[in-house]
Structure 1
């Protein structure tokens, strides 16, 4: 993830939760936060619950995150475990008064950890990182055991669709959103694979664009694409950099 960001021009700091909890680092100095994949706190309580708890139930850290989210010059990206976290802390979707999220990532319908090359479609959305990429259909790595988007009620999903916040969907071989396994590795409704905030600055996605931001990392690419030296996923990171510079 750090390499993908450095390639497009970002200066990257590796910040741990302990750095924030100890006061060693303050989020005020950053323009972007990326929550990468990986099993935070071993996921012993479920997808990203331990990670989210260390934010929501520490007053100082929670205030830092709230201030960062409220700024108009910041963006965030959550991938896989980071996607689960962003739902848990309400950076996509919302939290109730008791910190209960209205979007939760649950176990894959297959009840297995799914690591595979999947196909996604980028939908029209306000997501700044997906600017000029809508209607694109191409491959991406996915690797997760709890990637099924579930919603507190149907109106939550309907509201996301209405506001064009469902920005990524797993597709079948024809490029159509699907719930069919294994094209959809987790069973999310209508192939939901990524959600952004209404303003577009915050993006949470289950697939791993950083694992295929260079063309040599693709296990398959259409023959007509093989002369390209760049992966289309690099544009996502470049969009974020250009947004920060604008």
Structure 2
């Protein structure tokens, strides 16, 4: 029987990018289910039946109490029906099995506020956050991004740069202290950075749309299997998604699809 990569995309409580993320997984070759968070909390769906967890973007809980903080508390503390464990226990088992997690925008905020990123010491301690953009407004624009090719990140293997849109009001990445930032840099966990036209990391607006420290747009954990980013790869899957598709010769597949293809290839090689 042919083995299939199974992806799950979490919906509910204000997410609104789940269909685009599911389509990205489908194009990359995975069988994908969009699952409401309630189905996990009631025990009708179990994460262990999947290989690739996607936390999609949107306006989770209306961004009340800070970006994704309410959602993070739900995942950390809400019990699964019929079990004494919270959903985070199931999530830790999922990660411990060598599976993949990607959080985009609100999903990135969730991973950070749950302590799953960067998890430098392996504990669920929050050491960084994502807060209001320096511009003090919602930013909807396309950004140049450079990739740390020495990063262990599974999703960016073979990539040097990307061009993706951001759509957020709270995307400024900051750390608890400089030691955390230094460890992130030294371990090549700062996977993705906002770049200027010369391909260099920048703090200058609007190339850096939110003022993130060290121009950080995305980070991974030490295994490279948990990845969070503010730009939306699911929003650039086909050349017609590009803002200049009528004026430039572009490949048929959009740059964002490559992240999902890398994930599927990794799972096929390592887990099936």
TM above 0.5: yes
How far apart are the structure 1 equivalents of 2:237 and 2:26?
12
Whether contact under 8 Å (1:118, 1:170) holds in the other structure is yes
How far apart are the structure 2 equivalents of 1:227 and 1:105?
33
* 1:155 alignment partner, one of 179, 184, 188: 179
Are 1:127 and 2:153 an aligned pair? Answer: yes
Whether contact under 8 Å (1:149, 1:188) holds in the other structure is yes
How far apart are the structure 2 equivalents of 1:51 and 1:95?
22
Q: Match of 2:91?
A: 65
Whether contact under 8 Å (1:84, 1:104) holds in the other structure is yes
Counterparts of 1:134-213 in structure 2, within 5 Å, are: 135-136=160-161, 138-213=162-237
TM-score (norm 2): 0.84
Whether contact under 8 Å (1:76, 1:202) holds in the other structure is yes
* 2:45 alignment partner, one of 3, 18, 25: 25
How far apart are the structure 1 equivalents of 2:137 and 2:115?
26
The Cα shift of 1:95 comes to 8.7
Provide the secondary structure at the position in 2 that maps to 1:46: coil
The count of residues paired between Structure 1 and Structure 2 equals 242
How far apart are the structure 2 equivalents of 1:47 and 1:96?
24
The Cα shift of 1:49 comes to 0.6
Superimposed CA distance per residue, residues 185-213 of structure 1 (whole angstroms, 9 cap, x where no aligned partner):
10011210000111100110000011012
Whether contact under 8 Å (1:95, 1:101) holds in the other structure is no
Cα 1:203/1:97, change in 2 over 3 Å: closer
The Cα shift of 1:21 comes to 1.1
The Cα shift of 1:65 comes to 1.2
Cα 1:97/1:120, change in 2 over 3 Å: closer
TM-score (norm 1): 0.93
Runs of 4 or more, structure 1, over 4 Å off, are 95-100
Are 1:242 and 2:257 an aligned pair? Answer: no
Whether contact under 8 Å (2:164, 2:236) holds in the other structure is yes
The Cα shift of 1:17 comes to 1.5
- Note the residue ranges of structure 2 that are not aligned, 5 or more in a row: 1-20, 79-84
Are 1:117 and 2:137 an aligned pair? Answer: no
How far apart are the structure 2 equivalents of 1:127 and 1:85?
18
Q: Match of 1:215?
A: 239
Whether contact under 8 Å (1:107, 1:146) holds in the other structure is yes
Cα 1:97/1:67, change in 2 over 3 Å: closer
